[in-house]
Chain A
């Protein structure tokens, strides 16, 4: 850190670099690094054979599969539909638009347990949506699909809120230019608009994914929590804790932590790569 500080100590016209960096490190340390470090330390205390046994148990493997699979699916769904919602909110005027705009944030505000219970009663085999869906042979509640539904619900605002401002800033002249050059509507969307919003979509995807991976409250109600079938990793960790197996819980948490970090880092790098040469057309 001392070396970095020495290298960064260049004279700047913007004062407060030392203060800002110091505060950032302190804050980041207190809020993020120290708890995570404690987690790592606790995980390391587990005997390596036991660690390996815990993290590769069939029940754990099934939970990883469900957690990552359902989270990726939910984030993917949110990218598609969140982008459409953002588009509608930015480009069109319709009655109650302000209300719809406010509703987008509701999954943020609602206690996740409330959301979970509401979704469960809706999608249960006796619920309004669950009954017709079950009749069609698509049970939702207490299946992996139910997990995807809950994770989609809690992740929706991320994509909408990251894409919306980018679309608002997107110059309508770009679309007019494309049209005057003979591009059909879908060509304009694919070749002009999509590349512009791609970084925002990636950010929204990453945020929705991160949120979904850690989600607990809304999932446990709709998932049914059958071991090997509909058990997500956060639930498994809680179960371990309830059995006073803090070592096992920390081991699972470490795996999740590492996997999530790699995933998010990859998305960030992809995003960096896609925007590398793009600076705003300012003048």
Chain B
């Protein structure tokens, strides 16, 4: 079932959590709401669920206005960051809860409930824990129980609020691959809230990047990663170096590099800011025509698939570069050496007006 969010706003006291947000989630799609804390992502999820009422705007499920529907009547499955399991009930009873509280005429009989719960526990691979209590489970198991419980009511929409946020890194990576497989199996429309860009990029069909109550960009993981629409998205989706340059006529000039910028500003501030990801930078030990700047190698970390190099320019800026192992060996880099930075891709954003965090390189 599709979800449509139309011009939703919400304030808590003086804090503007959501500011005129509109969003479409297509049937069967898994969408990630990604943003830092305070960006409004959880508020948006809770408004979709009916756990929060918007100050303005509407929510539509499958084209029908659901804004006034109570959470009980929306048929959404909601998974909480801290599981919210009923600790006085066994795993089985937790999963059966949504079926047992149904009005008598639509409540499945005892055998049917047992069958359905059993099937759900198989789906989350926990059938052997049916008689345990939540306190006896690990964090990852608890969250899988919470997911089975949410799926028991056959929700039309599955909403997950930082579902893996309380788990340690290994379990988190495991569970998110598992969630992706599960979604491919059951194909329920899903919205996942996360502040972890890796999680969003790995799990979701589409990513919605939120900042200060507004949507910065909506796109596939590839789109938002490779073609960020704003400085904020660029910053939020990974490490980035910021270089200062100037606009001269229709060009932006960074060191020895000139870029064509048809809509470059001709008056006002002529300072240009170029954004380059660490893996889009190359190093060489001799200067060339396309050298952006030069600096001294401060640190080299060759552990991992990529070699991380930290460089300090003569102006004192710190630049992060990621090289392949082969390139690193070919250059024979070591701390203290002089190196020349060459960008493969510089991104410019139309306006520097948007607040997008610090201008210094991140990370």
Which residues in A have some Cβ–Cβ distance to B below 8 Å?
171, 173-174, 176-184, 187, 191-192, 195-196, 277-281, 283
Interface residues in B57-97 (C-beta closer than 8 Å to A): 70-72, 74-78, 80, 82-88, 97
Instruction: Tell me whether A195 and B71 are in contact (CB under 8 A).
Output: no
Q: How far is the CB of A190 from chain B (nearest CB, A)?
A: 10
Q: How far is the CB of B307 from chain A (nearest CB, A)?
A: 36
Q: How far is the CB of A68 from chain B (nearest CB, A)?
A: 31
Q: How far is the CB of B76 from chain A (nearest CB, A)?
A: 6
Q: Known contacts A173-B80, A173-B82, A179-B71; is A184 also within 8 Å of B150 by CB?
A: no
Top 4 A-B pairs, shortest CB-CB distance: A181-B98, A279-B135, A173-B84, A177-B84
Instruction: Tell me whether A180 and B97 are in contact (CB under 8 A).
Output: no
Q: How far is the CA of A277 from the CA of B75 in the complex (A)?
A: 32
Residue of B nearest to A174 (CB): B84
Which residues of chain A have C-beta atoms less than 8 A from B225's C-beta? Answer: none
Instruction: Tell me whether A182 and B88 are in contact (CB under 8 A).
Output: no
Which residues of chain B have C-beta atoms less than 8 A from A179's C-beta? Answer: 51, 70-72
Question: With A177-B84, A181-B150 given, can you name 8 additional A-B contacts, CB distance below 8 Å?
Answer: A171-B84, A176-B78, A178-B97, A180-B76, A181-B149, A182-B101, A182-B102, A196-B87
Per-position 1/0 for B29-60, Cβ under 8 A of A: 00000000000000000000111000000000
Which residues of chain A have C-beta atoms less than 8 A from B74's C-beta? Answer: 180
Q: How far is the CB of B85 from chain A (nearest CB, A)?
A: 7
Q: How far is the CA of A281 from the CA of B139 in the complex (A)?
A: 9
Q: Is B124 an interface residue (CB 8 A)?
A: no
Q: Is B163 an interface residue (CB 8 A)?
A: no
Which residues of chain B have C-beta atoms less than 8 A from A187's C-beta? Answer: 101
- Size category of the B interface is 20 to 34
Residue of A nearest to B139 (CB): A283
Q: How far is the CB of B98 from chain A (nearest CB, A)?
A: 4
Residue of A nearest to B86 (CB): A192
Instruction: Tell me whether B72 and A171 are in contact (CB under 8 A).
Output: no
Q: Is B134 an interface residue (CB 8 A)?
A: yes
Of the A-B pairs whose beta carbons lie under 8 Å apart in the complex, a sample of 30, sorted by A's number, is A173-B80, A173-B82, A173-B84, A174-B84, A177-B149, A178-B97, A178-B101, A179-B71, A180-B50, A180-B78, A181-B152, A181-B153, A182-B72, A182-B101, A182-B102, A182-B153, A183-B97, A183-B101, A191-B101, A195-B88, A277-B135, A278-B87, A278-B88, A278-B133, A279-B133, A281-B82, A281-B83, A281-B87, A281-B142, A283-B139
CB-contact partner of A280 in B70, B86, B135, B152, under 8 A: B135
Instruction: Tell me whether B71 and A180 are in contact (CB under 8 A).
Output: yes
Q: How far is the CB of B82 from chain A (nearest CB, A)?
A: 7
Which residues of chain B have C-beta atoms less than 8 A from A171's C-beta? Answer: 82, 84
Number of A-B contacts (CB under 8 A): 83
Q: How far is the CA of A171 from the CA of B134 in the complex (A)?
A: 15
Which residues of chain B have C-beta atoms less than 8 A from A177's C-beta? Answer: 78, 80, 84-86, 146, 149
Q: How far is the CA of A191 from the CA of B96 in the complex (A)?
A: 12
Residue of A nearest to B155 (CB): A180
Q: Is B23 an interface residue (CB 8 A)?
A: no
Q: How far is the CA of A281 from the CA of B85 in the complex (A)?
A: 9
Q: How far is the CA of A1 from the CA of B135 in the complex (A)?
A: 35
Instruction: Tell me whether B51 and A176 are in contact (CB under 8 A).
Output: yes
Q: Is B355 an interface residue (CB 8 A)?
A: no
Residue of A nearest to B132 (CB): A277
Q: Known contacts A180-B71, A277-B133; is A283 also within 8 Å of B78 by CB?
A: no
Instruction: Tell me whether A176 and B72 are in contact (CB under 8 A).
Output: no
Q: Known contacts A191-B97, A192-B86, A281-B134; is A180 also within 8 Å of B77 by CB?
A: yes
Per-position 1/0 for B109-152, Cβ under 8 A of A: 00000000000000000000000011100010010001001101
Instruction: Tell me whether A181 and B97 are in contact (CB under 8 A).
Output: yes
| Most chain B beta-carbon contacts within 10 A, residue among A171, A182, A191 | A182
Q: How far is the CB of A167 from chain B (nearest CB, A)?
A: 15
Residue of A nearest to B75 (CB): A182
Instruction: Tell me whether A180 and B150 are in contact (CB under 8 A).
Output: yes
| Most chain B beta-carbon contacts within 10 A, residue among A171, A195, A283 | A283
Q: How far is the CA of A172 from the CA of B194 in the complex (A)?
A: 21
Residue of B nearest to A179 (CB): B71
Residue of B nearest to A280 (CB): B135
Residue of A nearest to B142 (CB): A281
Q: How far is the CA of A281 from the CA of B71 in the complex (A)?
A: 25
| Most chain B beta-carbon contacts within 10 A, residue among A180, A187, A192 | A180
Instruction: Tell me whether A181 and B80 are in contact (CB under 8 A).
Output: no
Which residues of chain A have C-beta atoms less than 8 A from B77's C-beta? Answer: 180
Residue of A nearest to B78 (CB): A180
Residue of B nearest to A184 (CB): B72
Q: Is B360 an interface residue (CB 8 A)?
A: no
Q: How far is the CA of A97 from the CA of B232 in the complex (A)?
A: 45
Q: How far is the CA of A195 from the CA of B133 in the complex (A)?
A: 14
Interface residues in B198-235 (C-beta closer than 8 Å to A): none
Q: How far is the CB of B175 from chain A (nearest CB, A)?
A: 15
Q: How far is the CA of A248 from the CA of B156 in the complex (A)?
A: 73
Residue of A nearest to B159 (CB): A180
Q: Is B166 an interface residue (CB 8 A)?
A: yes
Q: How far is the CA of A179 from the CA of B102 in the complex (A)?
A: 11
Q: How far is the CA of A184 from the CA of B100 in the complex (A)?
A: 12
Q: How far is the CA of A182 from the CA of B78 in the complex (A)?
A: 11
Q: How far is the CB of B163 from chain A (nearest CB, A)?
A: 13
Q: How far is the CB of B97 from chain A (nearest CB, A)?
A: 6
Q: How far is the CB of A194 from chain B (nearest CB, A)?
A: 10
Residue of B nearest to A283 (CB): B139
Q: How far is the CA of A174 from the CA of B97 in the complex (A)?
A: 12
Q: How far is the CB of B289 from chain A (nearest CB, A)?
A: 57
Q: How far is the CA of A146 from the CA of B133 in the complex (A)?
A: 46
Instruction: Tell me whether B88 and A180 are in contact (CB under 8 A).
Output: no
Instruction: Tell me whether B166 and A180 are in contact (CB under 8 A).
Output: no
